[in-house]
Amino acid sequence: MDYRPALWDGSDPLYAPNTARTKDWLYWKPTKKFVDAGFPKTPRRLPGRIGDDNGEMRAQLAREYTREMLR
């Protein structure tokens, strides 16, 4: 999977890779490729709810989790 440069440089503060919505919650989930390679499959719930003012914080966490997965 190709990720935008914002993953590394933070140029888009709302870029949140590998996120999935479940009702009013957002979760970060690792890609199948990395799960198959041994990365834990467990999704991580991101704080807050959809529509609140925490979008940038959730996106930052999603980018951090994705960078951790790619290392």
Radius of gyration for the alpha carbons in the chain, expressed in angstroms and rounded: 12
On the CB side of 30, CA atoms within 13 Å amount to 17
- The pTM of the full predicted model, rounded to 2 decimals, is 0.90
Backbone angle region of 23, left / alpha / beta, with phi > 0 → left and psi within -120 to 50 → alpha:
left
Residue 45 backbone dihedrals phi, psi, to 5 degrees: -75, 135
Q: How far apart are CA 45 and CA 48, in angstroms?
A: 9
Q: How far apart are CA 71 and CA 63, in angstroms?
A: 13
* pLDDT (average), residues 57-68: 97
What confidence tier does 69 reach under pLDDT thresholds 50, 70, 90?
A: very high
